[in-house]
Amino acid sequence: MRALLLSLTLLLAAVALPARAQAALPGLTEGVQYRYIEGGVPYRPLPPGMVEVAEVFAYWCPHCAHFAPMLDEWKRDLPPSARLVLVPAVFGRDDAFSRAFFAAESARALPVLHRRLFAAVHETGELTRTANTAQIEAFATKVPGVDAPAFKAALHDDATLLPKLRHAYEFGARSGIEGTPALVVAGRYLVLGNSYEALLANARRIVDALAPKRPGKPARPAATPKSP
């Protein structure tokens, strides 16, 4: 019986080992540049060969406000095989800023509102860090370039908003997010770093390690020496 149990234990270990080995990234060290997320999946499905970099952020977070322009600059140099997606940190169905993010996305106003919401909280004081939905609505619908009726309708469309809020919450919980801003690559690698610059550098190293490997060029056959 003990021999059977030992054989079963060894078999399970042999099955688990390849899966864990796949988590290792060449040239990187778990616990230094990243933390592996068991059972992690990307926030959004991407075409085969694409690598997702998800930023979990909050508009009321001063660190996120400082990080946002750095991230914008960083993403310009991403390879074609990588894509940055934004994920608001969600704390409940009535999380006003998260609702505003998804409403802006639905109303196609996110390119205009994303930086303006950060600025309104951390620069101009037009919004407080604890602003409610009505206050954010009043602010956002006056921003030039925002389709006010579309944004207002999206902000109160619970049938559309609640599944998105739940999905973002579950992604943050599954990824073990403990603070913002946070970067998660391919749903499986929580980026570590002791500075904003280190976070971005390590995220790029992970992206490069996961990039599809291009097949090498076949070696040219050696020339056949001519007879004298």
The chain-wide mean pLDDT, for the chain, equals 87
- Rounded to an integer, what distance in angstroms lies between the CA atom of residue 43 and that of residue 89? 13
Q: State residue 220's pLDDT score.
A: 52
- Rounded to an integer, what distance in angstroms lies between the CA atom of residue 43 and that of residue 208? 19
DSSP 126-172: SS-TT--HHHHHHHHTTSTT--HHHHHHHHT-HHHHHHHHHHHHHHH
Domain ranges of the chain: 45-210
pLDDT tens-digit map of 33-82 = 999 999 999 999 888 889 999 999 999 999 999 999 999 999 999 999 99
Q: State residue 134's pLDDT score.
A: 97
Confidence of residue 17 (pLDDT cuts 50, 70, 90): very low
Task: Considering only residues 111 and 3, tell me which one the structure prediction assigns the higher pLDDT.
Answer: 111
Per-residue pLDDT averaged across 17-27, rounded?
63
- Kindly report the CATH class assigned to 45-210: alpha beta
Per-residue pLDDT averaged across 93-108, rounded?
96
pLDDT tens-digit map of 108-128 = 999 999 999 999 999 999 999
Q: State residue 162's pLDDT score.
A: 96
**Residue 82 — φ and ψ, nearest 5°?**
-120, 150
Q: State residue 211's pLDDT score.
A: 84
Q: State residue 215's pLDDT score.
A: 54
pLDDT tens-digit map of 165-213 = 999 999 999 999 999 999 999 999 999 999 999 999 999 999 999 987 6
